[in-house]
Amino acid sequence: MKSASLQYANALADIALEQGAAEPAAKQLESFGAAYAQSAELRTFLVSPAVSVEAKHAVIEKVIGRLGASKIIRNFLFVIADHRRTQLIPEIIAAFQQVLRQRQGVAEAEISSAVELSAAQKKELAATLSRLTGKKIEPTYSLNPALLGGAVVRIGDTIYDGSLRSRLNEMRARLASE
């Protein structure tokens, strides 16, 4: 994540959380990001150095009006346009969502298991991970038959490997060293 994107994301998070508008701001910014991603004409217009800042403000105002976004988002996008950083909009949106989750104590967990987990197993695993990390866990599940059994969990940069394959490899290494 580029530092400029992170600085903008942190600034918006400060304002949105202070005003109690974090969730609406995230949804509105995501809506603007979708419009930005879908329209090559909008991207070209906002990124072009030949277009005046006033013209960019007018277009942002129209798009924001159609989306029904708040003044927070409008002003934020004006600042991005004023500083000629509109090409960073997708990165800023991703960074904002990440910063918001982090500040709200939410962690995304990618869970790979050898077999489909039952609802009870998923609930228990999420509760255990929540206790372990001290954060609210938002899990995403996937199947990986190569694990043979157990599961592998990735939360940020941390990997918890409870797979049978890993245990067998550890046992093999111990037996080889003896």
Tokens 């500040």 map to which residue? 103
Q: What is the pLDDT of residues 14-72, one digit of tens each?
A: 999 898 888 899 999 999 999 999 999 999 999 999 999 999 999 999 999 999 989 99
Provide CB contacts within 8 A for 26, sequence distance 6+: 16, 96, 97, 100
> What is the rounded distance in angstroms from the CA atom of residue 37 to the CA atom of residue 31?
10
Query: Please, what sign has the CA dihedral across residues 29, 34, 39, 43?
Result: positive
Secondary structure of 10-70 as H, E, C letters: HHHHHHHHHCCCHHHHHHHHHHHHHHHHHCHHHHHHHHCCCCCHHHHHHHHHHHHHHHCCC
What single letter denotes the amino acid at residue 78?
F
Rounded distance between C-alpha atoms, residue 135 and residue 81, angstroms? 35
Check residue 166 and give its pLDDT: 80
